[in-house]
Amino acid sequence: MNEDFLHYIWKFGLFDKGNLLTTAGQSIEIIKQGEHNKDSGPDFFNGKIKIDGTLWAGNIEIHINSSDWIKHNHQHDEAYNNVILHVVLNHDSEVYQRPNEAIPTLELKFRILPNVKQNYELLKGSTKNIPCANSLKDIKEITSSNWLQRMAIERLESKTIFVKQLFEETKHDWQETFYRLLASNFGFKTNSEPFLLLAKKLPLNIIFKHKNDLFQLESLLFGIAGLLDQTFEEEYPRKLQNEFEFLRKKYQMFSIKSESWKYMRMRPLNFPTLRIAQFAMLLHNSSHLFSKILEESNLQSIIAMFKHNCSEYWDTHYSFTSISENKKKTIGETAIELLIINSIAPLLFFYGKIKNEQKYIDRAIDFLTQLKPESNKTIKEFTSHKLIVQNACDTQGLIHLEKEYCRKFKCLNCAIGNELLKK
């Protein structure tokens, strides 16, 4: 048992409150448990209790053993001078605030409700990735639904850390921020880093100068990506190569290493060459993309912005060295939805926070609720245990729940864990 569990027990009053006495035999009446403090200082602020009929207002400190007060050096910290009650699992020594003035102590060793302790030990002893997996079927749908929306919002907030980083790097240039964010996610998980580096080395002001010429856009993107630095047999890549050599000298640019791009265990339709070609076409066909994203509240219109074929060369190629059947290489529906989940929604959420405009925050969440649920190993594990998901907002919530709560065994901070513990 740890202190977090005792915090939980105290916060929700999950112990026998009949005939409460201090370790010195004084009667205790709990009027207010206090406000849980997760920073430095006493564990609960502004509690209210009666000891032998006298009302006390102040802070409450919680430990496994009474002697932990000394181990943690609270006796030398003025922040603990206003502690009115010391709540412990085991009372193994008296603790004094001032000479001959012992802090009133409540021992919970035999008072914790048996079902809560048993459920906690079952969760704590689980070896599963999701500790409560076998009990998920017993969770009320309203509990899981509300909690998953909360988790989805937390996930959006965590994603804005990266958006904020880009925003600071671009000196608060919204268009450049969005361009870099979109580029990073065009690489999806495997090629996210080289795609972001490509965008940083090829700034948007240069893109704007050539956006009306798709051939020049491709030469710039493939050239900076380091993918034109080889000998080609076909005419088209040789032309790209020559054009890039001219533009490289004009703008004094340098390419990234071609080895940065990953192809292993990847379907040809996900090759970075095709993704770069798709990115080039998006930039070519889109004017003021960031402004349009802000103005557009219809998700289907956002999706339509990404539905473009690559240039004609890519109808018969996956890369400069691999031939494909003659087929238009359009960004797939799943890929577009991932771009909305990882680029559009976090950008709108961050923009709403910075501008203090709730409509953009609401739109980010609304877009996620309109998208179908994602499918990956984590989500399949939850749904195999009868947890219901209806949209991408739910699945984003599940991803955050597993990563930030289940893996870290934060069941005490989880609404689903709370419901199970109290059963």
pLDDT by 10s per residue, the chain, length 423: 789 999 999 998 999 999 999 999 999 999 999 999 989 999 999 999 999 999 999 999 999 999 999 999 998 899 999 999 999 999 999 998 877 789 999 999 999 988 888 888 888 878 788 989 888 988 999 999 999 999 999 999 999 999 999 999 999 999 999 999 999 999 999 999 999 999 999 999 999 999 999 999 999 999 999 999 999 999 999 999 999 999 999 999 999 999 999 998 889 999 999 999 999 999 999 888 999 999 999 999 999 999 989 999 999 999 999 899 999 999 999 999 999 999 999 999 999 999 999 999 999 999 999 999 999 999 999 999 888 899 999 999 999 999 999 998 888 899 999 898 887
Q: How far apart are CA 7 and CA 156, in angstroms?
A: 28
Give the contacts of 190 (CB within 8 A, at least 6 positions apart): 262, 266, 270
- pLDDT at 119 (0 to 100): 87
Burial 135-160 (b: 16+ CB within 10 A, else e): bbeebeeeebbebbbebbbbbbeebb
Q: How far apart are CA 354 and CA 174, in angstroms?
A: 11
- Phi, psi at 234, each rounded to 5°: -85, 155
Q: How far apart are CA 253 and CA 275, in angstroms?
A: 22
**How far out from the chain centre does Cα 25 lie?**
49
Same domain, 66 and 179: no
Same domain, 83 and 187: no
Residue 283 domain-assigned?
Answer: yes
Same domain, 198 and 340: yes
Question: Count of CB atoms within 10 A of residue 311's CB?
Answer: 18
Same domain, 364 and 247: yes
DSSP lists the bridge partners of residue 256 as none
Residue 402 domain-assigned?
Answer: no
Question: Count of CB atoms within 10 A of residue 302's CB?
Answer: 18
C-alpha distances in Å from residue 320, one per residue of 8, 147, 273, 313, 332: 60, 48, 8, 9, 21
| Residue ending a domain, choose from 370, 400, 418 | 370
Residue 199 domain-assigned?
Answer: yes
Same domain, 198 and 316: yes
Same domain, 98 and 195: no
Q: How far apart are CA 220 and CA 226, in angstroms?
A: 10
Q: What is the CA radius of gyration of the chain?
A: 29
DSSP 79: G
Residue 57 domain-assigned?
Answer: yes
DSSP lists the bridge partners of residue 320 as none
3-state secondary structure of 318: coil
Residue 137 domain-assigned?
Answer: no
Give the contacts of 288 (CB within 8 A, at least 6 positions apart): none
Residue 140 domain-assigned?
Answer: no
Residue 417 domain-assigned?
Answer: no
Give the contacts of 356 (CB within 8 A, at least 6 positions apart): none
- pLDDT at 336 (0 to 100): 97
DSSP tally for the chain: helices H, then strands E: 18, 8
Same domain, 89 and 159: no
Residue 414 domain-assigned?
Answer: no
C-alpha distances in Å from residue 376, one per residue of 134, 250, 373, 380: 19, 45, 10, 6
- In the structure encoding, which two tokens stand for residue 315, read together? 């109808």
Same domain, 107 and 155: no
* Domain that residue 106 falls in: 3-112
C-alpha distances in Å from residue 418, one per residue of 9, 271, 412: 11, 45, 6
Same domain, 72 and 175: no
- pLDDT at 124 (0 to 100): 80
Ranges assigned E (strand) in 253-301: none
- Phi, psi at 44, each rounded to 5°: -135, 125
How many domains does the chain fold into? 2
Same domain, 86 and 232: no
Same domain, 103 and 186: no
C-alpha distances in Å from residue 378, one per residue of 120, 252, 367, 401: 23, 45, 22, 10
Same domain, 46 and 155: no
pTM of the model: 0.83
